[in-house]
Amino acid sequence: MRRPKTAFITGITGQDGSFLAEQLLNSGWQVFGLVRRSASGNLWRLEHLIGRVVLLDGDLLDLGSLVQAVTTAQPDHVYNLAAQSFVATSWKQPLLTGEVTALGAARLLEAVRIARPDARVYQAGSSEMFGTSEADQQREDTPFHPRSPYGVAKAYAHHLAVNYRESHGMHVVAGILFNHESERRGPEFVTRKISMAAARIKLGRQKVLKLGDVTVRRDWGFAGDYTRAMHAMLCRDQPEDYVIATGESWSVSDFVDRAFSAVGLDHRLYVEHDPSLLRPAEIPVLRGDASKAREELGWRPKVCFDALVERMVRADLKREAP
């Protein structure tokens, strides 16, 4: 019998990992995922997939564990989604962020080169690499000027991914994804913080929502649309880099406005400014141009901004209901 197509996902316990695993399983792929040890449990996003995915112990900090995992999985596709992914934390833990997000990618590329050099590899790059950009819309050839230790670490990983393609001839694709959210987003990110607060305030379980700079604008899409793009990138025979974005940019205030409207509340009564949430450096606006992905991958987002906010608030209302 022919072996099913096999994927190995680092960061499978994260937002994107859980959507990608689901999509791959539904397309008949076998899915292996790397899980690091946790004392308090990190499998909540995968509960519905337990028994369908094969979980392997390992950590991006530990090369041996990555070689072992790649050797066991013998994957056709490798998705490197694991990272210290929260920008605000990257100022407080810049060295850890570098170790995991930058050097972790190097360790994974090495593990693949050693144990499965023919595998196709996806590296999860970020619009944070652009930082403050002169361009009105950022594309694959827009120069990087990262504004956080996270952005710098992602830029290293991005350049290294391209370097492994060019120097070792490996099939490595570097995605440059703009912010993408869902009901599985970590609660520390602003969109989920807002959707949870709107739901909890509606249910009388929270009184105020404290936020930092609400004028900041981001290009927000739906995570499930973006994981489809990752897979489409690796299915293409020519390894290249792609920007994935909606092309629209909305402010944090816009998100607040829609989330509170979705539960019939006036946000002005509940939102407070908290200067301690301001960042040492900010990126005032990001907006991507995904024309290349549209043309070469036929990729388009299916969930618009309003539907995304609505979906997140509805999910949090359900979760928070007594």
Answer whether 12's CB lies under 8 Å from 35's CB: yes
Nearest distance from C-beta of residue 114 to ligand NDP, angstroms: 18
Q: Which is nearer to ligand GDP, 9 or 214 (CB)?
A: 214
Site string for ligand NDP, 104-133 (x = CB under 6 A): x-------------------x-x-------
Cα separation, 77 vs 115, in Å, equals 13
Please give the distance of CA 173 from its chain centroid, rounded to a whole number. Answer: 15
Q: Which is nearer to ligand GDP, 30 or 127 (CB)?
A: 127
Cα separation, 252 vs 267, in Å, equals 12
Which residues fall within 8 angstroms of residue 3, CB to CB, at 6 or more apart?
30
81 binds, options ligand NDP, ligand GDP, none, Cβ within 5 to 8 A by partner type: ligand NDP
The full length of the chain comes to 322
Q: Which of 18, 85, 90, 150 is catalytic?
A: 150
Other Cβ atoms within 10 Å of 103 Cβ, number: 17
Nearest distance from C-beta of residue 186 to ligand NDP, angstroms: 5
Nearest distance from C-beta of residue 102 to ligand GDP, angstroms: 16
Q: What does DSSP say about strands 217-218 and 250-251: parallel, antiparallel, or unpaired?
A: antiparallel
Q: How many residues belong to the site for ligand NDP (CB under 6 A)?
A: 27
Site for ligand GDP in 127-186 (CB under 6 A): 179
180 touches ligand NDP (CB under 6 A) = yes
- Closest CB to ligand NDP: residue number: 14
Cα separation, 112 vs 18, in Å, equals 22
φ, ψ for residue 147, nearest 5 deg: -115, 10
Active site residue 253: no
Site for ligand NDP in 253-272 (CB under 6 A): none
124 binds, options ligand GDP, ligand NDP, none, Cβ within 5 to 8 A by partner type: ligand NDP
Nearest distance from C-beta of residue 17 to ligand NDP, angstroms: 5
Distances (CA, A) of 243 to 97, 109, 283, 310, 321: 23, 21, 18, 25, 38
Cα separation, 314 vs 214, in Å, equals 22
Active site residue 276: no
Q: Which amino acid is at 258?
A: R
213 touches ligand GDP (CB under 6 A) = yes
40 touches ligand NDP (CB under 6 A) = no
Site for ligand GDP in 188-207 (CB under 6 A): 188-191, 193
List 174's β-bridge partners, or say none. Answer: 123
Please give the distance of CA 309 from its chain centroid, rounded to a whole number. Answer: 17
φ, ψ for residue 60, nearest 5 deg: -65, -15
82 binds, options ligand NDP, ligand GDP, none, Cβ within 5 to 8 A by partner type: ligand NDP
Please give the distance of CA 101 from its chain centroid, rounded to a whole number. Answer: 12
Nearest distance from C-beta of residue 156 to ligand GDP, angstroms: 17
Cα separation, 64 vs 298, in Å, equals 38
- Kindly list the residues in this chain that would bind ligand NDP in the complex (CB under 6 A): 10-11, 13-17, 34, 36, 38, 42, 59-61, 81-85, 100, 104, 124, 126, 177, 179-180, 186
- Kindly list the residues in this chain that would bind ligand GDP in the complex (CB under 6 A): 87-88, 179, 188-191, 193, 211-214, 216, 218, 252, 277, 279, 282
Catalytic residue ranges: 126, 128, 150
